[in-house]
Structure 1
Amino acid sequence: MATPIELHNVDVPDFLAVLDSCKGNVYLVTREGDKLNLRSKLCQLVGLTQLIEGGKIAEAYIICENPDDESKLFRFNLLGKTEG
């Protein structure tokens, strides 16, 4: 199983742009244990609206099926960008 990535203070529009560039499934895991596939626009809407505080994602865990996506999202979470 992939390692969960904990997101902190992520800019939502930038995060959605990174999600759109992912090749595999990316899951948002809630505190209750629900898993929402963020490749689905409906799940993005449902999942992210529960976590947004002041225009930023307050707290979330994501799990990626594709290791390249995991690296991309880890860099985004750490640096706020995916390249360079």
Structure 2
Amino acid sequence: MLSGRLAPTVLGINRHTLPDGRTRWGNTGGFHGYHTWSYHSADARQQLTVSVTTGYRGPPDTAELLAEALTEPDQ
């Protein structure tokens, strides 16, 4: 599992700290076979919204999804 920390929800917004220490803000949700994540940097320069269909295995872990999508690759 990739490292990352998801803070408690405050007013429906989650704070997530990426493995490299940067913070992203957003929310997750789902409805009958779909799961959606939408996370953004505080200045909105970096934004990620993903919606997937889920099967019997359920949605991927939020920390893993964000770490994969928003962490800079090693040089």
Name the TM-score, length of structure 1 as normaliser: 0.25
Q: Which has the higher strand share?
A: 2
Q: Which has the higher helix share?
A: 1
Larger radius of gyration: 2
Name the TM-score, length of structure 2 as normaliser: 0.27
Q: Which has the higher contact order (CA 8 A, sep 6+)?
A: 1
